């Protein structure tokens, strides 16, 4: 078995998680490669440099890897998908962040979870992504023109609203007067979209959701659409430019740029352990069914 270990940030749980993971897999017949920048980060804050030097590093992945382990929060997993993209390598996340809908392995459960993965006690959840094109083309998003959570347009350098003209499969839907508009996947429905009043969508649903950000018209509500829909957006406003975000990446576009959003032609494989599920995570993270009034 050959695994890749990826991370981006260091907090009080990162070193504990890395130490626990590497000490455990070192006893197994597993080849471990640590992403080069993350390797240097953990060496810089650890007194165990000699131990970490025994593990090889990587800068890019290839199809020889069986698994990528992300150490961090959901944002770290969103960065990890840039490494796997169309390689069909499954991802699992150790949660050293906060909420963690994607990074579901808790620090105290690392050894048990890794052994379950080694033993094949897991299932694969395939997650749809959004792909984007702009006319005219924007160099900032040509190479990484996809998002696992959401694509959002929003105002820039102004407190004034923008108008987001929206077409679905070529048919005019509406023009949102708002601070922006979020196009979310089921995976992203528990993130930015949810905080703006959007619905929670289970990962297996073949749907996307349009969620306006602070709409001026109170009748503007989130809209669930089939994920086969081609979405076109065009922004107008008092400023000449607006922001486009793809998960954690941001680009600046000129107004009247035509933004085309559709389902990407590949999916990301997430590992779900058999003792975890989306519904269990939802109950736990959202505190559903708990009464904290007393």
- Give pLDDT tens digits for 1-39: 999 999 988 888 888 999 999 999 988 889 999 999 999
Answer for the pair 19, 48: CB distance below 8 angstroms, yes or no. Answer: yes
Tell me the C-alpha distance between 278 and 283, whole Å: 9
- Cα-Cα-Cα-Cα torsion 136, 142, 148, 149, nearest 10 degrees, comes to -50
Please give the pLDDT value at position 68. 96
How do residues 179-224 score in pLDDT, each as one tens digit?
Answer: 999 999 999 999 999 999 999 999 989 999 999 999 998 899 999 9
Answer for the pair 187, 203: CB distance below 8 angstroms, yes or no. Answer: yes
- Predicted confidence band at 99 (pLDDT cuts at 50, 70, 90)? low
> Which of the residues 74, 88, 227, 291 is marked catalytic?
74
Would you say residue 178 has pLDDT above 80?
Answer: yes
- Cα-Cα-Cα-Cα torsion 22, 23, 25, 31, nearest 10 degrees, comes to 60
Please tell me whether the peptide bond between 211 and the residue prior to it is cis, using omega within 30 degrees of 0. Answer: no
**CB-CB neighbours of 147 under 10 Å:** 27
74 tagged catalytic: yes
Helix (H, G, I), strand (E, B) or coil at 115: helix
- Predicted confidence band at 93 (pLDDT cuts at 50, 70, 90)? very high
Please give the CATH superfamily to which domain 130-263 belongs: Probable inorganic polyphosphate/atp-NAD kinase; domain 2 (2.60.200.30)
Q: CB-based contacts of 92: which residues, under 8 Å, 6+ apart?
A: 67, 68, 69, 70, 104, 105, 113, 117, 270, 271
How do residues 256-273 score in pLDDT, each as one tens digit?
Answer: 999 999 999 999 999 998
Domain edges within the chain: 2-127+267-286, 130-263
Q: 82 burial class (0-12, 13-18, 19+ CB within 10 angstroms)?
A: middle
Please give the pLDDT value at position 48. 86
Fold assignment, 2-127+267-286: Rossmann fold (3.40.50)
Would you say residue 120 has pLDDT above 80?
Answer: yes
Helix (H, G, I), strand (E, B) or coil at 264: coil
How do residues 134-167 score in pLDDT, each as one tens digit?
Answer: 999 888 787 779 999 999 999 998 889 999 999 9
Q: 39 burial class (0-12, 13-18, 19+ CB within 10 angstroms)?
A: buried
How do residues 232-255 score in pLDDT, each as one tens digit?
Answer: 999 999 999 999 999 988 999 999
How do residues 33-80 score in pLDDT, each as one tens digit?
Answer: 999 999 999 999 888 888 888 899 999 999 999 999 999 988 888 889
């Amino acid at each position: 078995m050959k695994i890749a270990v990826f991370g981006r940030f260091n907090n009080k749980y990162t070193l504990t998680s890395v130490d626990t993971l590497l000490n455990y897999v070192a006893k197994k017949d597993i080849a471990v490669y640590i992403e080069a920048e993350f390797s240097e980060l953990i060496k810089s804050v650890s007194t165990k440099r000699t131990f970490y030097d025994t593990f090889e590093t990587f800068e890019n992945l290839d199809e020889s890897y069986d698994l990528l382990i992300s150490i961090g929060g959901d944002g770290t997993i969103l960065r990890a998908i840039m490494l796997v993209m169309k390689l069909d390598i499954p991802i699992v996340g150790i949660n050293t962040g906060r909420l963690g809908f994607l990074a579901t392995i808790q620090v105290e459960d690392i050894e048990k979870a890794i052994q379950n993965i080694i033993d094949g006690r897991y299932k694969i959840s395939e997650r749809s992504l959004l792909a984007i094109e702009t006319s005219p083309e924007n160099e900032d998003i040509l190479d990484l023109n996809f998002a696992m959570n959401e694509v959002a347009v929003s105002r820039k350098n102004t407190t004034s609203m923008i108008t987001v003209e929206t077409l679905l499969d070529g048919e005019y839907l509406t023009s949102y007067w708002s601070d922006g508009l979020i196009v979310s996947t089921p995976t992203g429905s528990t993130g930015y979209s949810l905080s703006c009043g959007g619905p929670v969508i289970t990962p297996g649903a073949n749907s996307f959701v349009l969620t306006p950000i602070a709409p001026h018209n109170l009748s503007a509500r989130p809209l669930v659409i089939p994920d086969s829909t081609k979405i076109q957006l065009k922004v107008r406003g008092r400023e000449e430019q607006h922001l486009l975000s793809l998960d954690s990446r941001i680009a600046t576009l000129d107004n009247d740029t035509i933004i085309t959003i559709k389902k990407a032609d590949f999916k990301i494989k997430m590992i779900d352990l058999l003792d975890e599920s989306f519904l269990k995570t939802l109950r736990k993270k959202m505190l559903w069914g708990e009464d904290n009034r007393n």
